[in-house]
Structure 1
Amino acid sequence: MTDYFEPWLKYKHPIVRQLAFCIASPNIIQHLPDELEIKNRFEVHDTGFWQQQYIDFQTRLDQLDHDPTPLIEFLQQLKSTRLGLRFEYLFWFWLQDEANQHYQLIQHSIQIIEAKNTLGEIDFLVRNQATKQIEHWEVALKYYLGESNLQLMHWYGLNRSDTLLRKLNHFSKKQFQFTQALDFKIEKRLAIMKGQLYLPNLADLTVLPSWINTQHRLGQWGHHIETGYYRLQRHEWICPDLEQSSPVAQWWCNGLYHNTSTLQFYMYRQAPLVFSFDINA
């Protein structure tokens, strides 16, 4: 598939491009894998949902691209350099912004405490203005490299003990265990998993697992050097800047690379250290 919905590429300011990506990009999975053992059921939004959220927020994004001050000031609350937290704060800005007419943000980052013990934390508690339902949202920015036959257990994060399977199990068993928060009954649970999946070079695209969202651009990974790629800065893992941020690579080190001509992403790893990246680590 070569025709992707990638409207974030039209914006000039890096932080607005990142916000547009957070809103418009589809989840990296399009449904829960059959291999996943479900304890507490949850859902993922379909691609059309995110496209509509972008369309309805587009005027506000255009305004921010002209003057990003409100967005910049909001993110100044964030003291950490972790991209996972940056992603979460971008989502927070969108949900609390008055231009977002679809959701009322009830609260962000709710600790669930029982008898002085912290049982867990809820990323976002929101009211769906159309259905009037109370929804629990968990957000994650993820980068996984597929190996072997690309089945669920073979997608690895920065620490190889952190797999896509483990993250989905954590959603089901831990993060979505709660039935109420702040005296609200939780009526729907939704996981927002954005970022990118990387296929090994020469992977057969006709035999991808059905849960992989092919409406999302897939990257490649490997330990050999490609031509025409430049290395992305850390914040560009969310979305590359409008202007190329470094020269075309002559010397390669582990990291994410981008080709402005093809818009392809390549995750380079020195053999035999075959890892991928979990920005939330």
Structure 2
Amino acid sequence: MFVLNQASHLEEPWLQFKNLLVRQLAFCVCSPNILSDTPPELVLKHTFQFHDNAIWHGHFENYRARLLYLDQHPQELEIFLQQLKSTRLGLRFEMFIWFWLLEPDYHPYQLLGHSIQKIAGPRTLGELDFLLFNTESKAIEHWEVALKYYLAERDFSLPYWYGLNRSDTLLRKLNHFSQKQFQFEDALEHKIEQRFAVLKGQLYLPIESKVSAIPNWVNLQRRLGYWGSHIPPQSADFYRLQRQEWICPQQHISSDTAHWWSNGLYLQKDKNNFYMYRNLPLLSQTVKG
């Protein structure tokens, strides 16, 4: 059985901010990817990379003063987010990244385009999330961004990480990056030289499992959560997170202690342990990714 704890050395600087939107912005910009590398068993059609953890740490250091200002004066961020009419967390994540990229004083990127459609005649071939010019490397970069939550099953190998919708698997998402989203050689008359997946969110291990080895492509500099279909130990210490808090929880407890459990993400008070509760009837038979 896994014990609900996590290494204390993890840096989570987004938790220092008080305003929820600023905490979420800081998480989106500063947290490492949930993967440290592409799994070796993934068959790549079009190659792409993940940024090193140090890159995101550097972005936080460059953005810290701005975040501290926004924490006291969040109106600009609030107005920007009003453009978003959808409640989807993935689109919210993209908006936070866009807000940051629009501020060139805090990073080395020149934003060349966002949500760029590639069209051939009557057909839409795809869309690029962000096209950037890196003023340090002088390279044109294509970024695809995604916020994902995957639950590990079986032996934790690549085919057995499932989203809350079991048709959404980690393997399927990585294949979509490689086969579809990173297929383009150019955009807006710029030749693409580097391709980066910005894949953030959280991974969850079964609270009860005999598997002891976590794949080396899982980024252990990101806090891992746990998941299960029963109430965990110390259940009285947990409360249910609001949907928007999945990106980053509010500074203070946002709901009552979870006396009656339903599907959702729960947080252990004062310990920052995340538990994804899944009602057993909703767990279907394992399918291949």
Query: Partner residue of 1:174?
Result: 180
Check conservation: 2:35, 2:217, Cα contact below 8 A: yes
Distance 2:129 2:247 in 1: 19
1:206 Cα shift?
A: 4.3
Q: Structure 1 residue aligned with 2:18, among 12, 21, 24?
A: 12
Query: Partner residue of 1:215?
Result: 221
Query: Partner residue of 1:279?
Result: none
Distance 2:133 2:269 in 1: 40
Q: 4+ residue stretches of structure 1 with deviation over 2 A?
A: 98-101, 202-206
One-letter amino acid of the counterpart of residue 263, structure 1: N
Check conservation: 1:229, 1:259, Cα contact below 8 A: yes
Query: Partner residue of 1:241?
Result: 250
Which segment is superposed worse, 226-235 or 171-180?
226-235
1:75 Cα shift?
A: 0.8
- Summarize the alignment of residues 258-269 of structure 1 with structure 2, pairs less than 5 Å apart: 258-269=267-278
Distance 2:155 2:54 in 1: 29
Q: Please list every run of 5 or more consecutive structure 2 residues that lacks an aligned counterpart in the other structure.
A: 1-6, 285-289
- Summarize the alignment of residues 174-213 of structure 1 with structure 2, pairs less than 5 Å apart: 174-203=180-209, 206-213=212-219
Q: Structure 1 residue aligned with 2:8, among 2, 13, 37?
A: 2
Query: Partner residue of 2:287?
Result: none
One-letter amino acid of the counterpart of residue 177, structure 1: Q
Query: Partner residue of 1:118?
Result: 124
Q: Structure 2 residue aligned with 1:225, among 213, 228, 231?
A: 231
Check conservation: 1:38, 1:172, Cα contact below 8 A: yes
Query: Partner residue of 2:80?
Result: 74
TM-score by length of 1: 0.95
Distance 2:35 2:95 in 1: 22
Q: Structure 2 residue aligned with 1:57, among 57, 63, 73?
A: 63
Q: Structure 2 residue aligned with 1:133, among 118, 129, 139?
A: 139
1:159 Cα shift?
A: 2.1
Check conservation: 2:59, 2:107, Cα contact below 8 A: no
Distance 1:96 1:6 in 2: 24
Distance 1:85 1:117 in 2: 24
Distance 1:274 1:86 in 2: 27
1:260 Cα shift?
A: 2.3
Distance 2:163 2:258 in 1: 24
Check conservation: 1:95, 1:103, Cα contact below 8 A: yes
Q: Please list every run of 5 or more consecutive structure 1 residues that lacks an aligned counterpart in the other structure.
A: 276-281
1:189 Cα shift?
A: 0.3
The 1:204/1:65 distance shift into structure 2, 3 A limit, reads farther
Deviations 1:206-250 (A, max 9, x none): 411110001110000001113111000010000000110001110
1:116 Cα shift?
A: 2.4
The 1:274/1:190 distance shift into structure 2, 3 A limit, reads same
Check conservation: 1:25, 1:216, Cα contact below 8 A: yes
Distance 1:111 1:255 in 2: 34
